[in-house]
Every structure is written in C-alpha cells, then in structure tokens.
C-alpha cells in the first residue's frame, strides 16, 4: 500500500489538498495515470488503484469535482471519498454510478446536494453522508432507492429542512447510524423499513418522529436522545422510537434518553416488552441520572442478564420502593456500576441488588478516580457488603 498526498497552489493562490490513497496487488508503484481536477493534470495514480479520497478545506468548483469523479469511475475504484466544499449546489452526476466496482461512497460536500434522476449504484454496500442538505424529498429518495445492495448507511449532521418525510426502505441494510444536531430533522418523520437490519444507532435531539417497521432481525441498538430547551414533544418520539425496538438483544441508552422518558410519563404505554433483551447499558450524559425511568424499562425485560449503569446523583430509595423486576429474580447474572464513590446511597443500592438478584454471579464496581486509589475505602465497602453477599456472587473492584 502507498500513500500519496500532493499540496498544490492553483493560479488563484488558494491552497487545497488532493490526496489519493492507493492499494496495490503488486508492490511496485507505477505512476502512469493522470487525473484532471479543475484543469490541472496530476500524475499520481498507479495501475491497481482501488481507493480515492479528495479533501479540500476551501470551496472548489463543481466541474473540478465532476472531472475527478469521472476519472475515478473510469479507473474502476472501489472506494470514493469526496470531502470537499462545493457551493452553493452540487448535483451528484449519473456517471458516478456507472462503475460496477464502487462499493463504498463517502460524501461530505458542505452544501445542498441534489441527485440526478436515474442514478443507480449496483455494487454500493457502504454509504456515508455528512454535512449534506438535501434539496428535496425526491432527491433523497432517488439516492436511497438507487442503492439496491446497500448494507451500511451513516447519516451525520445531514440537514432535512426541505423534507417532511424520509423513507429508508432497504432490505439488505444491516447497519444504520444517524447523528444529528439541533436543527436537523426538525418536523421530519423518519421511516425505517429494513427487515435485515442488525444494528441501529441514533444520537440527536428528541423531536424526531421515527416510524420503525419490519425490524425483526435487529440485535443491537444505541439511543442517545437529548431534550431541547424549549421542550415540546420531549419524550413522545423517544418512547415511539424504543417502541419499535422490542426485539433487540442488546440496548445502550444515555441517561439523557431516560430523562426524556421521565419528562413524558404519559407515553410509557408506548414502551414494548423487551422479551429478547439480555444486555442493557446506560451511559453517562449531561442530565442527572434517573432511576425511575430505568425501573420502568427493567419491568419490561424478563430475560435481562447484564445491567450496567452510572452512579451519578443516585437516589437509592427510587430502587428500593419500587417493585422488584422479575429479571432480578430469574435472569440477572452481572451488575456493573461506574463512577462509584462509596457513598452511603451507593452502598445501599449494591445491598439492594445482592438481596434481590437471586442468580447474580458478579458485581463489577468501576470506581471514581478518588476511590480507585483509596484501597482502604474499597475494603470498607467490601466489608459492608459481605454480610448480604451470597456465596455464589463475586464482587470485583475495577
């Protein structure tokens, strides 16, 4: 493998970078092909080039980008990355899909993106879109429907301000990752119909209306929703989103997501029974940890085996006063806690688990920085837990 990076100074004295990373089936670099970018000839491409990346920190003209795409397609590249600034509008040309070897496309144009009618990527398996504003619904649907064998889709900070509904209907899709900012997806509905989807991740504000159908194959999901300061519809979309993930086996939530659920108690009926869920992990977020919302989920996880939570602003009484979930009695084998400081309420919570989790085999305690170096305090906590610790349960300080 060889890396080739060229820094060029166009006549306008604007500096930009053109980078090609090439993979070879032979170990000899043979610079024998020319690329034409904005009228400049660049002799950098070896005979077995399979990967092409274009990166520019300033705006470049559309003709230059199209010229590079055309050259890359002719040379049967497999991976094409366009990390450029094109203003104000970039139309993804038809000839971009002419290649039968292209299996990965990364677009980060920082502009309005339109998609030519009839575009079709017969071999594309990975598509990543970043910093894209779709011109209209027809454009976005044209792109998604033109990827019949797509397996991995990533949408990062894409702006859907011109779109009311997004439909991702791809039977071959296995991995879907969506990351959005404050204004992204505002007043939009995202419909996901992917019968073979295995992993779904959403990070963004809680105003998005997700419609999830045919996700019977999904195994893992990660949901990190943070609520808007102006606060309408705070928790309803979150409950609806989780309502479509009832068949998952592993779920990762942020405590911000739990806070959204807490602020919309009237939507709890939308939460499904997570009959297949065996692993539940709660990540630390910006909001205070809420055990009330988590307890509502635990009541719907009859087969949960592993639970990992952060101990931040914990009120142990929230756990003790609620009814004990059935997973505590019959399935929970591993309980992990992070940011443990050894406070009274935290020790009480551990005692609650030791007394009520009948088949618990291990407790992993991830200590705070202060407690991690205080071996004496760790020993004190361990001594407090031993009287209620079953002989089959092992407590480990990490």
> Do the domain assignments include residue 134?
yes
How high is the pLDDT of residue 32? 36
How high is the pLDDT of residue 40? 34
> Do the domain assignments include residue 115?
yes
Q: Please, what's the b/e burial string for 78-96 (b: 16 or more CB within 10 A of its CB; e: otherwise)?
A: ebbbbbbbbeeebbbbeeb
CB 186 within 8 A of CB 206: no
Query: What does pTM read for this prediction?
Result: 0.82
Q: Which two tokens stand for residue 279?
A: 């692993």
> Do the domain assignments include residue 90?
yes
How high is the pLDDT of residue 364? 93
Provide the 8-state DSSP code for 44: E
- CB neighbourhood size of 384 (10 A): 16
Closest CA to 140 of 153, 152, 151, 149: 153
> Do the domain assignments include residue 291?
no
> Do the domain assignments include residue 315?
no
Range of the domain at 28: 1-161
> Do the domain assignments include residue 305?
no
Rounded Cα distance, 55 and 59, in Å: 11
Closest CA to 170 of 134, 207, 202, 217: 217
Backbone φ and ψ for 240, nearest 5 degrees, come out as -65, -40
How high is the pLDDT of residue 245? 92
Percentage helix, strand, coil for the chain under 3-state DSSP, each rounded to 5: 25, 35, 40
Q: Please, what are the averages of pLDDT over each run of 10 residues along the chain (398 residues)?
A: 29 30 27 40 42 58 72 77 75 78 86 85 93 87 92 90 86 94 66 95 82 91 78 68 92 88 75 94 71 85 93 59 81 92 86 89 90 89 89 87
Largest CA distance in the chain: 79
Q: How many domains does the chain have?
A: 1
Instruction: Name, in order, each residue with C-beta under 8 angstroms of 379's C-beta and a sequence gap of 6 or more.
Output: none
> Do the domain assignments include residue 172?
no
> Do the domain assignments include residue 56?
yes
């Amino acid at each position: 493998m060889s890396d080739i990076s060229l820094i060029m100074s166009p006549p306008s004295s604007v500096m930009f970078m053109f980078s090609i990373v090439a993979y070879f089936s032979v170990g000899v670099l043979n610079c024998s092909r020319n690329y034409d970018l904005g009228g400049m000839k660049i002799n950098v491409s070896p005979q077995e080039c399979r990967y092409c990346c274009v990166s520019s920190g300033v705006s470049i003209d559309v003709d230059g980008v199209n010229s590079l795409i055309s050259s890359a397609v002719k040379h049967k590249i497999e991976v094409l990355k366009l990390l450029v600034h094109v203003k104000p509008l970039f139309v993804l040309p038809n000839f971009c899909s002419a290649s039968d070897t292209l299996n990965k496309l990364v677009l980060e144009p920082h502009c309005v993106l339109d998609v030519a009618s009839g575009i079709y990527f017969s071999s594309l398996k990975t598509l990543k879109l970043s910093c894209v504003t779709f011109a209209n619904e027809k454009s976005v649907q044209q792109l998604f429907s033109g990827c019949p064998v797509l397996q991995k889709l990533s949408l990062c900070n894409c702006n859907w301000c011109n779109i009311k509904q997004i439909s991702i209907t791809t039977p071959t899709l296995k991995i879907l990752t969506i990351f959005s900012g404050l204004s992204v997806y505002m007043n939009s509905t995202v419909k996901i119909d992917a019968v073979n989807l295995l992993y779904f991740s959403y990070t963004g504000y809680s105003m998005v209306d997700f419609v999830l159908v045919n996700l019977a194959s999904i195994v893992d999901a990660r949901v990190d929703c943070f609520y808007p300061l102006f606060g309408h519809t705070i928790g309803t979309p979150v409950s609806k989103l989780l309502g479509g993930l009832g068949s998952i086996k592993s779920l990762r939530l942020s405590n911000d997501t739990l806070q959204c659920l807490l602020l919309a108690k009237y939507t709890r009926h939308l939460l499904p029974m997570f009959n297949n869920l065996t692993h539940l992990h709660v990540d630390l977020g910006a909001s205070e940890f809420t055990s009330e919302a988590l307890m509502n989920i635990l009541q719907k996880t009859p087969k949960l085996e592993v639970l990992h939570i952060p101990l931040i602003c914990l009120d142990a009484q929230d756990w003790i006063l609620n009814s004990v979930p059935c997973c505590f009695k019959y399935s929970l084998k591993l309980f992990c806690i992070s940011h443990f400081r050894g406070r009274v309420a935290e020790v009480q919570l551990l005692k609650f688990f030791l007394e009520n989790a009948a088949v618990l085999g291990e407790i992993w305690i991830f200590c705070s920085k202060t407690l991690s170096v205080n071996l004496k305090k760790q020993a004190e906590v361990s001594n407090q837990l031993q009287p209620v610790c079953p002989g089959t349960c092992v407590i480990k300080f990490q």
